[in-house]
Structure 1
Amino acid sequence: MRKAEPGDAAAMAVVLQGWLVDTPWMPVLHTLADTEAFCGHLTKATDCWVAVDAEQVLGFVARGKDWVTALYLAPDARGRGIGATLLAQAKAGRDALQLWCFQSNAGARRFYERHGFVAEEFTDGAGNDEKLPNVRYVWRSGQEISQ
């Protein structure tokens, strides 16, 4: 794992687009070029890390002040502990974090709950671009121990 650089944006976009392809309920609203620009923005505006193997980006996490703004893994990188490592990096040095997750994303929801995130708000999706119901999760340091 290493700090993401602007030059990682294209590989990060491929990871994110791979998730979209594997997620039939998710509407595709942006082109690969749009996604690459978004990922480039993440490398500059957030605390962004990439998981790499032989210089291939397998996944990434982006954290704003107290928000996980993105966490995506390449389809073949799932189930190998990479997501847990990226999430641990996002938690490092923080007392609390929040994130949004689509309610339909059962696998991600189980993942976040296993890592101490608690659902605190459910929406009908009116406030997101995809118009899909989502859930706001919150993690607080030490929460995993008390559950």
Structure 2
Amino acid sequence: MYKRILVAVDDSTTSNAALNEAISLAKTMGAALRIVHVTDEVPIRNAIGLEALLDVAQVEDAMRQAGRALLDAAAKKAADAGVQAETDLLEAPSKLEASHKRVAEWIVEGADTWQADVIVAGTHGRRGFARLFVGNVAEDLVRLANTSLVLVRGR
């Protein structure tokens, strides 16, 4: 039985499915629910010459604001279903640290710190070149997580 459920969300259909599953689990088990979102600023920080084209700090701030809005909407969805949820925006405290951590590492660290019993996340089911190019957070979670996982397949 799960007592502490952590769900990772982004702005995708599979993430929405994972959120629905986490809400259902939390409601059924009377578990605490924490909804997290990782602001992945690494591509922006590592883009050579990007500073000349745009204000990187402004873009990062916009990403944080979008992440908070996403978390607020997810928490409202949980509340509408009768589940109170905490939210947490996970982000790198420094440029140096951000360049060395993947999204899955931030999720696992957040789950460990909060002492989650299970991590719920969506999987996009990418294959071939798309998987190599974009990466796969769910696959990284399988390798890195110190707790149980519920992976919700995209439809």
Q: Same fold (TM over 0.5)?
A: no
Return the index of the structure with the highest Cα Rg.
2
Highest RCO, 1 vs 2 (Cα 8 Å, sep ≥ 6): 2
Instruction: Give the TM-score of the pair, scaled to structure 1.
Output: 0.32
Kindly indicate which of the two structures has a greater share of residues assigned to strand: 1
Kindly indicate which of the two structures has a greater share of residues assigned to helix: 2
Instruction: Give the TM-score of the pair, scaled to structure 2.
Output: 0.31
